[in-house]
Homo-oligomer: A and B are copies of this chain.
Amino acid sequence: MGEVKLLQGNEACVFGALAAGVRFFAGYPITPSTEIANIFARELPKIGGKFMQMEDEIASIGAVIGASCTGMKAITATSGPGFSLMQENIGFAAEAEIPCVIINVMRFGPSTGLPTHPSQADFMQSRWGTHGDHPVIVIAPYTAREAYRETGRAVNFSEKYRVPVIILMDEILGHLRERVEFKEEDIVKEVNRKGPEAGVPFFPYEHTDDWIPPFANFGSGYRCHITGLIHDRTGFPTNNPEIVDQVMRRMNGKIDKHIDEICRISTVDVEDAEIVIVAFGSVARSAAEVVRIMRSMGKKIGLIRPVTLWPFPDREIKKAAEGKKAIIVPEMNLGQMVREVIRTIEGETPVHPLNRIDGELITPRDIIDFIEEME
C-alpha cells in the first residue's frame, strides 16, 4: 500500500483481478480492451495462472465458465461486438450460477462502429443482452484506481453471489494512464465461493437462508450436475411450475436480497444541491469537474455517480432527487441511463438528458452550457 504508479485503466483491471485471486483468463482480442489480454498473457504464467486465446468470444466465455466449474477464478475481457457474442453463455452462467467476470470496455457502436472511440451505449445491453430473466451485476469504475478496486470487488461478488459480474468501462478509461496511489481501502480481500457444508446433505441449488447455494467444485467429490435447463435444487431439470417459480425467484432475487452490499454510489455535494447530475464512468469525471467549477461560482450543483449500475440504485437516486430543481443525466449515448432515472423518480423532479453521440467525451463545458441554458 501507499504504492504509487502510473497505471492504465485496462492494466488496473488486470491487477485488481489478480489480487482477487483470478488465475485464468480466456479471451479474444478486441479494441479497446486488448491490453487486458496482453497483460494477462504476460502476468498469469508468472504466478502459475493460465492464459488462453480462444477462437472467438463465445469460446472465451465458455472456457471461463468451464474453468470456474473447477473452482478457479476466471475472467474475460472484450468490447461491444464480442460482448454481443458472449450473451448466450452469459445467460448460461447466470442460470447455472457459475461465478465469472466479464470486462466490457465500451467502444462506439452499433456494429463495428468507431472501434477506437468511447461510448456508454452498452448500458442497457449489459443488463438485458441475453434472453430470459436473469440476474447480473454491472459495475462501472471511473478512474484507474477504481478500476483496480472494482474489478476486485467484481470477482468477489461473482464468487459470493454465484453470478456473472460485468465491469463496464469506456475506451477513455480503458486507455487512460493515470497516477494511482493505493490506499488501505484499495486492498482487495479475496472472497471465495461457499462450499458444501460437512455433515449436511448437499444440494447444489439449495434455497439457503441467504439465497446463495453452496458450490461444489468439479473434482471435489460431489459429482453435481450443472445445466442451463431450469433445474430444481438438486440441479436436475424440472418443469414443475411451482418449482420453476421458486427457483426463478430465488435465482433472480438473490441479488436484490443483497442489494445494500452490492450497490455502491458515490456522491459529491448532493445534500444542498439544487441541480443534481447523475453520471457514470468517464462522463462522471467531467461532471465532477463541473461541480468543482460551478460550486466555485456559487452554484449549487451536486453529482450522483452510480458505481454499481445494475441493479440500478433506485432507492438512492430517488432519495437524492427529492426536492431538487432538476436532474441532469449526461451520457455518451442517446439516453439509456436516463430512462432508469425517469422510471425511478416517477415524475418527482424534472429529468433532463444530455447526450453526445459523436464519439467524443462529454466535456465540462458541455454540461455547464447545458445547465446555463436550462436556467
Show the binding face of A for B, using Cβ within 8 Å.
Answer: 58, 79-81, 83-85, 87-88, 91-92, 94-96, 106, 108-117, 119, 121-122, 124-125, 127-134, 227-230, 239, 241-242, 244-245, 248-249, 252, 333-334, 336, 339, 342-343, 345-348, 356-360
Checking B229, B249, B357 against A357 with a beta-carbon cut-off of 8 angstroms, the contacting residue is B249
Q: Which of A248, A342, A348 has the most C-beta atoms of chain B within 10 angstroms of its own C-beta? A: A248
Contact check, B229 vs A113: say whether CB atoms are below 8 A apart.
Answer: yes
Q: Classify the interface of chain A: helix, strand, loop or mixed.
A: mixed
A138 to chain B, nearest CB (A): 13
Q: Give the shortest distance, in Å, between A314 (CB) and chain B (any CB).
A: 11
Contact B95 A133 (CB under 8 A): no
Contacting pair B122 A227 (CB below 8 A) = no
Residue in B92, B96, B112, B229 whose CB lies within 8 Å of A229: B112
**Cβ–Cβ contact A81 & B131, under 8 A:** yes
Among B95, B127, B343, B346, which residue has its beta carbon within 8 angstroms of that of A110? B95
Which 9 pairs of residues, A with B, have the shortest CB-CB distance? Answer: A109-B132, A80-B131, A111-B228, A110-B132, A347-B347, A346-B347, A124-B128, A241-B358, A91-B110
In the complex, A356 Cα to B94 Cα: how many Å?
19
Q: List 18 A-B contacts (CB under 8 A).
A: A84-B91, A84-B131, A106-B131, A108-B244, A109-B130, A109-B133, A111-B228, A112-B227, A113-B132, A113-B228, A122-B131, A127-B128, A128-B128, A129-B130, A230-B359, A245-B357, A343-B343, A347-B347
